[in-house]
Structure 1
């Protein structure tokens, strides 16, 4: 789980920096999707640590980001 969280975080950060440097925001929906997956992994980790409130919040953020990224995919 830790490795997947780090890989997803680095991929999200890379796309965010790319968008900021080049002012090319066509990959924003992919970045938001990767951010959502990162939140899902973090939520699962919190559930395993018996922190259900924070885990539920992170999974809720994942669901919201999933809808936002799907909207981005459909509009492009």
Structure 2
């Protein structure tokens, strides 16, 4: 689970850095999808550690919202 988080973090940083440097936002839906996956994996990792607090469920809810927003961005582009 830790390796997946590291890979997703690197992908999110690279995509957002590329978009900021080149000022092209064509990759924004991809960035949002990977950001949603990162928050979902973070919530699942905390859930596996038996930390069932407020922020675990908030991470899950935020990731669902980000996935929904990225799907809409994919469909509109």
Q: TM-score range by the shorter chain?
A: over 0.9
The Cα of 1:70 is off from its aligned counterpart by 0.3
Please report how far the alpha carbon of residue 49 of structure 1 lies from its aligned counterpart in structure 2 after TM superposition: 1.6
Residue in structure 2 matched with residue 20 of structure 1 by the alignment? 20
Unaligned runs of 5+ in 1: none
- RMSD across aligned positions (CA): 0.7
For structure 2, list consecutive stretches of 5 or more residues without a partner in the other structure.
Answer: none
Match of 2:39? 39
Partner of residue 30, structure 2: 30
**Cα deviation, residue 12, structure 1:** 0.6
Q: How many residues align?
A: 76
CA deviation string 1:20-59 (max 9, x = no partner):
0000000001000000000010000111122222211111
| Equivalent position of 2:64 in the other structure | 63
Moved over 3 A (4+): none
Q: TM-score, length-normalised on structure 1?
A: 0.96
Give me the TM-score of the superposition, normalised by structure 2. Answer: 0.95
Aligned equivalent of 1:10: 10
